[in-house]
Amino acid sequence: METRGPRIIVALDYPEAGSAEAFVRTLDASLCRLKVGKELFTAAGPKFVEGLVRQGFDVFLDLKFHDIPNTVAQACKSTARLGVWMLNVHALGGRGMLSAAREAVDSIAGPRPHLIAVTLLTSMTAEDLVDLGIEGGVEDSVSRLAALSARCGLDGVVCSAQEASRLRAERGGQFLLVTPGIRLAGEGAQDQKRVTTARDAIEMGASYLVMGRSITRAKEPNAVLRATIQAIASAGSA
């Protein structure tokens, strides 16, 4: 699946619409896409998302649906109707839920958003999997969940950059790999465990990069975006 347009997705991790809108007004829509997660969506609602779309931004609505198949299917339909570019579900919801989500998105008239699955959250470690009774370690678990998502017709998965090389080899060039936990060189891991730089992530096989505070807290976010774009442009798989 060809990755056209900006490869950086800026996470709008704000508690309410006003501060998010003020930040968005500083952005050049040609440089990035935007991600709206649970906190902001709960505070600002669907109209906020539709407003971003009207401003020319591609929006990844990151709500990680995980419920019975029919409930997830209806939620995916409602999300697709907002005009978003991408939405996601949890791969741990299983085959029936993933297939129902795929069918729901395919049933929407007009442009079809990308449908991807969360494998394991980038905050999770091998110890967390033991606590949950999941065997095989992080990489093997991510690989199994990505394979299940592919069999159910999803366009790709969310994964850490550390898993991207293996998934790219296993799933081929058309499978989308969306990688959070992207930091500028020299930045700390913050609240995620499996992190890397933008250039390294692209070289590992990532399709799109999710960046949050590195951009949203920058004095000149467009300058940071341009520098990051330049860095990944020279990566081997860019």
Catalytic residue among 38, 47, 64, 77: 64
Kindly give, in sequence order, each residue whose CB lies less than 8 Å from that of residue 185, ignoring residues fewer than 6 positions away. 197
Q: DSSP 3-state assignment of 127? A: helix
Question: Taking the mean position of all CA atoms in its chain, how far away is CA 200?
Answer: 17
35: annotated active-site residue:
no
Identify which of 179, 189, 159, 188 has the alpha carbon closest to the alpha carbon of residue 235. Answer: 179
**H or E stretch at 10:** strand 8-11
Burial string for 80-110 (b: 16+ CB within 10 Å, else e) reads bebbbbbbbbbbbbeeebbbbbbebbeeeee
Catalytic residue annotation: 64
